[in-house]
Amino acid sequence: MQKKTEDTRGTIAWRCPSNIALVKYWGKHGVQLPANPSLSFSLREAYTETWVDFEWTDNQEVSLDFIFEGKKNEAFALRIKEYIQNILHHLPSLQGMHLTLSSRNSFPHSSGIASSASAFGAMALILNDLYYQMEGKSIHSPEFLQEVSELARLGSGSASRSIYPGFVAWGKTETLAASSDQHAIPLKNSQVHDQFRKMNDTILIVSKGEKDVKSSAGHELMKGHPYAGARFGQAGENMQKMLRTLELGDLDDFMNITENEALSLHAMMMTSTPSYLLLKPNSLIIMEKIRNFRKQSKVPVCFTIDAGPNIHVIYPEQVEREVKDFIQNDLLVYCEANQWIDDGMGKGPEKLK
Ligand code: PMV
């Protein structure tokens, strides 16, 4: 372990991507454990970059300042402080440090795109990297990322999946030997058919407004929800089917499962108490148009949606030209201020300093 001295100070920076879930996590128990397994792919363009300047103090606690996009942000600082307190028993040698954290997102704050996965992913990377530095351990050891995934999960469940590139699974799944509720795992090359190696996600911004329901409240709504048992069962089955489909390269099954998951998530929100209608009329028009286009053109393209009105258009890179033309000609008019984000599968987190 590194000796605590007045000169133990420095800077660490990481970039962590967001991810898009194809099999959705919605409902949890215990300490941030998922009610069902989920599967996503990590994105390329939507990410958070976080820097930490650290130094020792005489205090026993961890103290921090949090600067978001150039401005001190007390609300975020409180949330991060609470998060660090909760995970400090995993990182005891950080006790007594003062951290100045600065963070920025690559996507506009007001775009309606959730940032908790990339934000907690970047935070967990920084904190475990700092801990490893204090302990004199190498971040290239195999357990580093697994521990980061677990720490990220404790901030936001979906963040556990942002720690790896490509397709990532989180939650115990019978047919996936190494899977766990505690942390996510990346799918191996042999588990993903060539069809799915390069996936695109064009995000259509139907509404930029703040979300009506925070995901923490959404997970809570699944407790006592009349359809919860059936939903968790369906997600488990969809996970098994999706894993088989990814291995076999069946695009039709892939599209059916992906859309089924998105619509089930919204069905849960519509039928919970209180109930939430997060889709906008334009979200429905876009979904219907995507289905009609797919039927007529036979181009493999489908949609998924998170807990909001924006539509993620998912398709393999080989049909990019056809899908982009379709989006530009037929879908952009249904977006707020014609806004969209051109994203796709990325290479996972990156250390900046
Ligand atoms: O990680 P949370 O608590 O923000 O929940 C994420 C929930 C969804 O984005 C709707 C689905 C998912 O699996 O990412």
- Coil, strand, or helix at residue 176? strand
| Ligand 1 site-directed mutation target among 170, 211, 215, 264, most atoms within 8 Å of CB | 215
HSE of 348, CA atoms in CB hemisphere, 13 A: 15
- The mean per-residue pLDDT over the stretch 231-243 comes to 98
Structure confidence at residue 75 as a pLDDT band (50, 70, 90) = confident
Please report which confidence band the pLDDT of residue 312 belongs to, taking 50, 70 and 90 as the band edges: very high
pLDDT recorded at residue 38: 98
Query: How much is the average pLDDT of 31-37?
Result: 97
Question: Which atom of ligand 1 is nearest to 38's Cα?
Answer: 13
Q: What is the pLDDT of residue 293?
A: 98
Residue 82, pLDDT score: 95
Closest ligand 1 atom to residue 24 Cα is 13
- pLDDT band with cut points at 50, 70 and 90 for residue 152: very high
Cα 61 to averaged position of ligand 1 atoms, centre (Å): 31
Residues with CB under 6 A from ligand 1: 21, 24-26, 38, 116, 156-158, 215, 265, 306-307
C-alpha 211 to ligand 1 mean position (Å): 13
List pLDDT tens digits, range 124-138.
999 999 999 999 999
Q: What is the pLDDT of residue 209?
A: 77
Pocket test for ligand 1, best of 23, 25, 278 (most atoms within 8 A of CB): 25
Entry pTM: 0.96
* Nearest ligand 1 atom to alpha carbon 117: 1
Which tokens sit at 254? 């892939």
Which stretches within the chain are classed as H helix? 74-87, 116-135, 143-155, 215-221, 228-248, 251-270, 281-297, 320-326
Q: Can you give the pLDDT at residue 325?
A: 98
Q: What's the pLDDT tens digit per position in 167-195?
A: 999 999 999 999 999 999 999 999 999 99
pLDDT of residue 5: 61
Ligand 1 pocket check: which of 150, 158, 258, 263 to mutate, most ligand atoms within 8 Å of Cβ?
A: 158
**pLDDT band at residue 326, thresholds of 50, 70 and 90?**
very high
Say which residue the tokens 């982009």 belong to.
324
| CB-side neighbour CA atoms (13 Å) of 99 | 25
pLDDT, tens digit, for every residue of 253-301? 999 999 999 999 999 999 999 999 999 999 999 999 999 999 999 999 9
Q: Please tell me the distance from the alpha carbon of residue 65 to that of residue 98, in angstroms, as a whole number.
A: 8
User: How far apart are the CA of 270 and the centre of ligand 1, in A?
Assistant: 17
d(CA 208, CA 187): 33
For residues 188 and 170, the answer to whether their CB atoms sit within 8 Å is: no
Average pLDDT over the chain, rounded to whole?
A: 94
Mean of the pLDDT values across residues 58-87? 91
